[in-house]
C-alpha cells in the first residue's frame, strides 16, 4: 500500500515538476529505469514470499540503478556502450521475467 502510494506520488511529482535531466545523464536514464524495475519486482516478490525488508529494497534499488548506469558509462568510454547496454538489458530482462513468473505463481498458483 505504502509502496503504491509512493509510486503514484513519484509519477505525479515527475509530471508536475518536470525536472530537467542534464544532457550527460540522458543516455543512462533508460538503463537506470530497467534496473529500477528489476529492483521493484524483486521487492514485490520478496513481499509475497513474506521476507520483504525495506533496507534490502532501498540498497538493491540504489545499487542496481547506479551500477547499471556505471556499466553503460564505462562501455561508452571504451567504445562498446551499445553492446554493454544490450548485455545489461538482457540480464535485467531475464531477472525481471523470472521474478514476475514467481509473482505470478504466488498470486494465481499457476
Contact set with other proteins (CB under 8 A):
2-15, 18-19, 21, 26, 29-30, 32-33, 36, 39-40, 42, 45-46, 49-62, 65, 91, 94-95, 98-99, 102
Smallest distance from the beta carbon of 105 to other proteins, in angstroms?
Answer: 9
Task: Write the DSSP symbol of residue 8.
Answer: H
Q: Which is nearer to other proteins, 29 or 70 (CB)?
A: 29
Kindly tell me the sign of the dihedral angle through the C-alpha atoms of 47, 37, 101, 86: negative
Smallest distance from the beta carbon of 40 to other proteins, in angstroms?
Answer: 6
Kindly tell me the sign of the dihedral angle through the C-alpha atoms of 50, 99, 1, 6: positive
Smallest distance from the beta carbon of 70 to other proteins, in angstroms?
Answer: 16
Length of the chain: 110
Q: Which is nearer to other proteins, 18 or 79 (CB)?
A: 18
Write out the three cell numbers for 51.
521476507
Amino acid at each position: 500500500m505504502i509502496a503504491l502510494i509512493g509510486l503514484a506520488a513519484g509519477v505525479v511529482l515527475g509530471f508536475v515538476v518536470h525536472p530537467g535531466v542534464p544532457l550527460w545523464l540522458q543516455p543512462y536514464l533508460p538503463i537506470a529505469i530497467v534496473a529500477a524495475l528489476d529492483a521493484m519486482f524483486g521487492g514485490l516478490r520478496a513481499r509475497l514470499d513474506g521476507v520483504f525488508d525495506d533496507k534490502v529494497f532501498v540498497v538493491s534499488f540504489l545499487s542496481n540503478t547506479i551500477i547499471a548506469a556505471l556499466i553503460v558509462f564505462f562501455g561508452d568510454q571504451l567504445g562498446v556502450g551499445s553492446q554493454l547496454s544490450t548485455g545489461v538489458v538482457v540480464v535485467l530482462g531475464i531477472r525481471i521475467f523470472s521474478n514476475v513468473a514467481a509473482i505470478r505463481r504466488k498470486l494465481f498458483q499457476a
